[in-house]
Structure 1
Amino acid sequence: MAHRSRLAGFIIDCRTDDLDAAADFWSQALGMSISDREAGDGSAEYQMFGDTPGDLHVEVQKVTHESRVHLDIETDDIDAEAARLEALGAKKIAFHKRWWVMEAPTGQRFCVVRMKHPERGAPPREWND
């Protein structure tokens, strides 16, 4: 069965006690507005940007690990996409509620998340499983 995926956007992971200040810095640095300061859920604190290029999802997230930037790949089948990426050499690191944290063969971490708005942005690529 086929599934679809595409780049969803970028998450700026910030180890900070002041998420508002971190989001304000990145908002001004990138020239994007903060569209939702309360975008997080019970398991994560993050703030979402608006006015992003190509409708990419860009957010600032409070984390306990070292600060870094990671990307999200969105898909209509999380397990199929994770398996496709494993076949390319990626490793599954952990499953969190509804997404996979994975690691590229070169060490970068990224997440495989559920596609929210397939009708927006660039069309997703279809993969034959």
Structure 2
Amino acid sequence: MSHRSRLAGFIIDCRVDDLEPAATFWSRALGLPIADADAGDVPGQYQQFGDTPADLHIEVQKVDHASRVHLDIEADDIDAEADRLEQLGARRIGFVKRWWVMEAPSGQRFCVVKMHHPEKGPQPNEWP
């Protein structure tokens, strides 16, 4: 059975005690307004930007690991997409809440998340 996926956006992981100054910095640096200062399931954990290029999902999140930037790939079937990426050489690190944390063969971490708005943004890729 086929599934669809595409680049969803970028997540700026911030190892900080208070996410607000980090969100303000990245908002000003990228020239993007903060559209949702309390995005996500945990208060103070995520802030999402608005008016992003190509409707990409861009947010800052408070993390316990080293600060970094990672990308999200969204799919209508996250397990099928994780399988496809494993066939390309990626490996699953773990399932967190509702998404797969993956690692590319070159070491970069990224996530496979559920596609919520397939009608927005660029056309998703269709995979056999």
> Normalising TM by the smaller chain, what interval?
over 0.9
Identity %: 73
1:117-128 matched pairs, under 5 angstroms: 117-128=117-128
Residues 100 and 113, structure 2, Cα contact 8 Å, conserved in 1: yes
Q: Which residue of 2 aligns with 1:90?
A: 90
SS at match of 1:38: strand
Residues 102 and 111, structure 2, Cα contact 8 Å, conserved in 1: yes
In 2 relative to 1, CA 20–33 (structure 1 residues): closer, same or farther, beyond 3 Å? same
**Which whole-Å CA distance do the structure 2 matches of 1:18 and 1:43 have between them?**
11
TM-score norm. by structure 2 comes to: 0.98
Residues 71 and 111, structure 2, Cα contact 8 Å, conserved in 1: yes
Q: Which runs of 5+ in 1 are unaligned?
A: none
**Which whole-Å CA distance do the structure 2 matches of 1:26 and 1:126 have between them?**
33
Q: Which residue of 2 aligns with 1:55?
A: 55
Q: Which residue of 1 aligns with 2:45?
A: 45
The Cα shift of 1:51 comes to 1.0
Q: Which runs of 5+ in 2 are unaligned?
A: none
Q: Which residue of 2 aligns with 1:78?
A: 78
The amino acid that maps onto 2:74 is E
Runs ≥4 in structure 1, deviation > 6 angstroms?
none
The Cα shift of 1:42 comes to 3.4
**Which whole-Å CA distance do the structure 2 matches of 1:33 and 1:43 have between them?**
19
SS at match of 1:122: coil
The Cα shift of 1:99 comes to 0.3
**Which whole-Å CA distance do the structure 1 matches of 2:104 and 2:112 have between them?**
12
| Aligned length, in residue pairs | 128
TM-score norm. by structure 1 comes to: 0.97
The Cα shift of 1:18 comes to 1.5
**Which whole-Å CA distance do the structure 1 matches of 2:59 and 2:68 have between them?**
12
In 2 relative to 1, CA 35–103 (structure 1 residues): closer, same or farther, beyond 3 Å? same
